[in-house]
Structure 1
Amino acid sequence: MNTYTLSAAQRAALNEKSNWRGAREVAKDWGLVLLAFGLSLAWPHPLTYVLSTLLLGCAMAGFAILQHETAHRSLFATPALNEWVGEYLAALPILQSMPGYRAYHMQHHRLAGTLDDPDLIMTKDYPVSPASLRRKIRRDVSGQTGLKSIVGLLGMYAGYWQYELTGKVERVTPAPQGVVGYLRMFVKNNGHLAIAWQVAIWAALYALGNGWLYGLWAIAFIFVLPTCMRIRQIADHAVVADPMSTNPLLHARSTSANWLEKLLFAPHYEHYHLEHHFMPTAPCWQLPKLHAQLKQAGVIPEQNQATSLFDVLRRATT
């Protein structure tokens, strides 16, 4: 049995949004940023810098999920607050665009389980050999993926490339006219504010006498975040029961995760990805409840349940 229908009352309960809970989710990530820099400011030591960099990577992974939540208009009950936080406190600090992401990501939900799904390119070739996965992870941890993403994101702000986060490159047509046209598009897409966020973070640290600590933020973005995102992508849709089914119970995965996996790879209940596809309008903190209902109904295929994110990686390699 791989069909299931929620009652109207169940859907209403799961769709209930909260400004307070939304603010709490945002505070988690910005709290990690303050903790990370606070540790290195208070106890300057190479090991502390490593820990701070990992914590910053965790926060950035969280920002990416907050952008995702606000793209679905599910993080806050107040629409204007949802839009503002998603763009200015989640997307722009990590050089992304919530409106751009929303336009692209809604296609993923509309076309999931078909050959036209824009995200299919990231998971369609799994399972891969262990050596192939190691090569992919090596590109991430060596900074190759992160450096390319910076170029790509700045180009997307400028209207040079279409907004996508899959590595696919497609020119915008019609293109802006000349340097002035690209600069105008860069400002229109808030690219200048994304740069301003980087300057503001550096300036705050400089005012505390340690502007060089901004380097930890840059290292986390270039080396840690791409690795977190790749593992999350594999966990979400790779090696599922039927990737070519439009049924979310078949084309997405629900994964158990320990505290470390949640911190690094699955903040804000991201590991309940099957549940999110089953009900995309539900706020992230409602997904554990939905998971319990689907689990009790026995409608989640065994192949679409994993005991951990590392269990997923084991399945994704043959």
Structure 2
Amino acid sequence: MAGTDGIHPAAARRPAVPARAGARQTRASLALAAAIGTAWLGIHFGAIFGWRWSLPTAPLAALLILVQAWLSTGLFIIAHDCMHGSFAPGRPRLNRLVGALCLAAYAGLSYRHLLPKHHEHHRAPGTAEDPDFHPAEPRRALPWFVRFFTGYYTHAQILRITLAAIVYLLLGATLPNIILFWAVPALLALAQLFVFGTYLPHRHHDTGFVDGHRARSNDWSRLTSLVTCFHFGAYHHEHHLSPATPWWQLPRIRAEAPARR
């Protein structure tokens, strides 16, 4: 169960971040979230309401869709930090507010619904109790992805997205623009989060895992790590070792004390 402050009790039991360090971490998180959120909103509303289709503009539209997918992944990662209380240490209301806004914008997701599911994942990663895992198919991507998708997308979410789309249509947007600049990036981001943030880190190999976190990192460059999943894939084992560390500090964790991969 999630606590009333919007952070799971397991996160609340971790040692508190010193006040000054927590304030710096909050400011940095807010600045990065503002940059990601502003870019996402600019493309979202600008493209949905202002895009005019023609053959010459099609390549630019494709590029915008890919950028928006990456930014949508960023929104989810910000919300993920909020779930761990690492976005704004010691400020549960701010974590809850930012997390809820990011998930709602990304794909009409419910922060309250996802919060306990994510901490179930951390309690028993890579087991039958892990909602992000497919115990019957620990190596095959497609059946695992189907289970992942159906586990997070709900009728309430579809209703919220539908209502938002109706409002957009009433305000003058076109259905193709809504689909291509909101639905498609959200689905691409879902695939990105699954492949780089769940499947590759937690997929079973013959070599097994180094510890009970059942998670792997990799040696990709920081740029590749950022582009693929905001460091959440390449530094996934580090995240499980230190879930109170925000996404943008995960490379520092490895640099200070190289994690076992």
- TM-score between the two structures when normalised by the length of structure 1: 0.59
Match of 1:237 in 2: 202
State the 1:292 CA deviation: 1.1
State the 1:212 CA deviation: 4.7
Please give the secondary structure, in 2, of the residue aligned with 1:58: helix
**Cα 1:123/1:34, change in 2 over 3 Å:** farther
Are 2:77 and 2:247, in contact at CA under 8 Å, matched by a contact in 1? no
Match of 1:24 in 2: 31
Structure 2 distance, partners of 1:57, 1:123, is: 30
Match of 2:117 in 1: 104
State the 1:35 CA deviation: 5.2
Aligned pairs (5 A) from 1:262-277:
262-263=226-227, 265-267=228-230, 269-277=232-240
Are 1:70 and 1:86, in contact at CA under 8 Å, matched by a contact in 2? yes
State the 1:51 CA deviation: 0.9
Deviations 1:191-250 (A, max 9, x none): 8655555456666773xxx6752222122224x22321231222221246534942x3xx
**Cα 1:123/1:151, change in 2 over 3 Å:** closer
State the 1:122 CA deviation: 7.1
Match of 2:103 in 1: 90
**Cα 1:42/1:102, change in 2 over 3 Å:** closer
Q: Report the more deviating stretch, 51-60 or 229-238.
A: 229-238
Q: Which amino acid aligns with 1:47?
A: P
Structure 1 distance, partners of 2:185, 2:96, is: 26
Are 2:225 and 2:231, in contact at CA under 8 Å, matched by a contact in 1? no
Match of 1:68 in 2: 80
**Matched residues, percent identical?**
20
Structure number with the bigger relative contact order (C-alpha 8 A, sep ≥ 6) is: 1
Is the counterpart of residue 278 in structure 1 residue 234 in structure 2?
A: no
Structure 2 distance, partners of 1:43, 1:262, is: 31
Match of 2:3 in 1: none
What runs of 5+ residues in structure 2 fail to find an aligned partner? 1-14
Are 2:85 and 2:92, in contact at CA under 8 Å, matched by a contact in 1? yes
Q: Report the more deviating stretch, 80-89 or 29-38.
A: 29-38
Q: Report the more deviating stretch, 195-204 or 61-70.
A: 195-204
RMSD in angstroms over aligned alpha carbons? 3.9
State the 1:50 CA deviation: 0.8
State the 1:89 CA deviation: 2.9
Deviations 1:137-159 (A, max 9, x none): 9x98xxxx6xx95897232x3xx
The correspondence for 2:179, drawn from 209, 215, 218, is 215
Structure 1 distance, partners of 2:172, 2:238, is: 40
Q: Which amino acid aligns with 1:231?
A: V
Structure 1 or 2, whichever has the larger Rg, is 1
